[in-house]
Structure 1
């Protein structure tokens, strides 16, 4: 069996190729939906629904993987569903595009909890924070390359969404090949199953904290939608992927650093994403120009990088089972859906800034109180 560091890198390479495809696609999906006739509320509901389906199914996939020891079957099936992104090149309506978006999210749901359980199992020798931070950093190389590719293609072919989505097919073929290599090297890994010896209440409190954080966070699709609306009059919508590129670059830089902090300071580091969510969501909602949205994207990337490293590391120290990861991700998914609906409605109906700020502060204050209870 491979050593922990090399195993994490190999799993990171698989995620890198996956992220190149679906994060590249996601960087232009809100703009694409807007062109197909979708409103901000529709974009919020569609992307939020995709996130909710993804995270709720993660709970079932995690439990299924634990009960049947089919971690790798679900990982393969989940990565296979990324084919939905190249198929978006054939979508002729926002409804068909929405269906493919949900299929891609369903695939991510099937693979993520089992993959994180495998990652937790192979990383015991190097520390959970470092392992998940390193994995997220490698993963983010693809998440940066994907939006950068879309930015270049749409600059070269204005309105060429079909070309942009279809360009991810070679990466999909490479992903399947690397997946086969990963299984050959790591297929014998046996993750922990069941509750992993962790108190259920601890995982439940972590899930509540993450959910409160998530429901108050304006996610990337609505930031991208606002960028599309701001840039559309000047014909500069090809710059929209730049927003997503900033998100992924910041995420890539933050995740490993916060992973190291988690290994040293533990649960205290969970306060950081809660605090940064306040300026992230406030600037996303109140921005009136593209440069303010770039600032919002930087804040959001910081929060995302911390969620992807410290939340997952905390679960690893609470047992690291697929079921536990599924529970966390279900909470994140439901709250991300609610966030999309709430903020989409607030944007469409022009809610006063005072209402928005009050909502953001209330959700993150509740999350901080939950963290205080966890530490006690």
Structure 2
């Protein structure tokens, strides 16, 4: 096995156990906040502002990573904050403290994402950026499936939300241990990318079209805590079954990432356009249907997330030079985060006014993204 592949697998295993931690927690944050007395708007605000904070810090994190070359140091700091905030939710006595910890967890994730993705982009040069990020996301999502299942077992065994958060300390510890192993084996991951003759300035026009499509995707994609809140308060599903639905979405995410990443290297943005077309129907199924519709909605939601986490990240590597890779990921994630936060607030507000209005907003924005992606593929082909 090539060194670059080994490196991707190691970071994938780190993400596997990290996702067990924070995705296991996210599967119940919506119902947990409702249990503590938070409103639907506050649930959406916590999820949205947490994402916004995490994405805004990525701009600074990516810039500092490139300027200092301290990719590993910033990655370690981010993982520690990201992972320890989750089990601490077990000790939250009110929804205000819980919201603060949710935001802190997102900040930690935001801090470590640009330097980690830059290191992944170096390693995925040989196999193809789409395939490399797809492999990483697939390993990542194994943890995203296992985490909610761990929490489900705790709840099904008679435990409460607090016990569910506390058990997630175990995978958090393993993630940090594997991350240390990765550093010891690959202290300079930038050496994994071969030098090339690509003139990245040729991609500037397409890059702005790409960012426009990313904004519309983010605007219309509901965060799962709002979906989980809806399924719980409207009694569409028993609260103990919501983590199972989330685990199903994460499993679909993993499969979608592998397929989308692999075919992106061959067919370009048509793959992302197809994923948007398929996944845009998650909203009517999740928010307007019954229990079986909620299951199908979770599957389609996972299809879209898998494509976003593989293709959208891989494309940044194709648009940016190696020495500015951290900044490129930081900028991309900041723009994506602002759009995600805006969409979370809008959809949370619409949820209180009209659930069909929320669904219409989601479909319209995803349709706009689809049109731009098809235009982007035409731009790419012409170039």
State the TM-score bracket (shorter-chain normalisation).
over 0.9
Note if contact 2:141-2:250 (Cα within 8 Å) is conserved in structure 1: yes
Which secondary structure does the structure 1 equivalent of 2:200 belong to?
A: coil
Which secondary structure does the structure 2 equivalent of 1:148 belong to?
A: helix
Note if contact 2:260-2:272 (Cα within 8 Å) is conserved in structure 1: no
Greater alpha carbon shift after TM alignment, 93-102 vs 290-299:
290-299
Match of 1:271?
273
What's the CA shift for 1:272? 1.9
Note if contact 1:285-1:347 (Cα within 8 Å) is conserved in structure 2: no
Which secondary structure does the structure 2 equivalent of 1:19 belong to?
A: helix
Match of 2:145?
144
What's the CA shift for 1:350? 2.6
Match of 2:335?
331
Match of 1:247?
249
Match of 2:188?
188
1:326/1:204 Cα in 2 relative to 1: closer, same or farther (>3 Å)? farther
1:63 to 2:63 alignment = yes
Q: Distance in 2 between matches of 1:206 and 1:161?
A: 40
Residues 109-137 of structure 1, C-alpha deviations (whole Å, 9 max, x = no match):
01111101000001211111111111001
Match of 2:300?
299
Q: Distance in 1 between matches of 2:33 and 2:205?
A: 40
Note if contact 1:230-1:290 (Cα within 8 Å) is conserved in structure 2: no
Match of 2:344?
340
What's the CA shift for 1:325? 1.3
1:31/1:361 Cα in 2 relative to 1: closer, same or farther (>3 Å)? closer
Q: Distance in 2 between matches of 1:153 and 1:26?
A: 15
1:46 to 2:50 alignment = no
Which secondary structure does the structure 1 equivalent of 2:298 belong to?
A: helix
Match of 1:374?
376
* TM-score normalised per structure 2: 0.91
CA RMSD of aligned residues (A): 2.0
Match of 2:17?
17
Q: Distance in 1 between matches of 2:68 and 2:293?
A: 48
Match of 1:27?
27
Match of 1:216?
220
Match of 1:96?
97
What's the CA shift for 1:28? 0.6
Q: Distance in 1 between matches of 2:359 and 2:110?
A: 32
1:230 to 2:234 alignment = yes
What's the CA shift for 1:257? 0.8
* TM-score normalised per structure 1: 0.93
Q: Distance in 2 between matches of 1:15 and 1:341?
A: 28
Q: Distance in 2 between matches of 1:358 and 1:224?
A: 19
What's the CA shift for 1:358? 4.1
Q: Distance in 2 between matches of 1:261 and 1:253?
A: 13
Note if contact 1:59-1:330 (Cα within 8 Å) is conserved in structure 2: yes
- 5+ residue gaps, structure 2: none
Greater alpha carbon shift after TM alignment, 138-147 vs 338-347:
338-347
Q: Distance in 2 between matches of 1:154 and 1:358?
A: 34
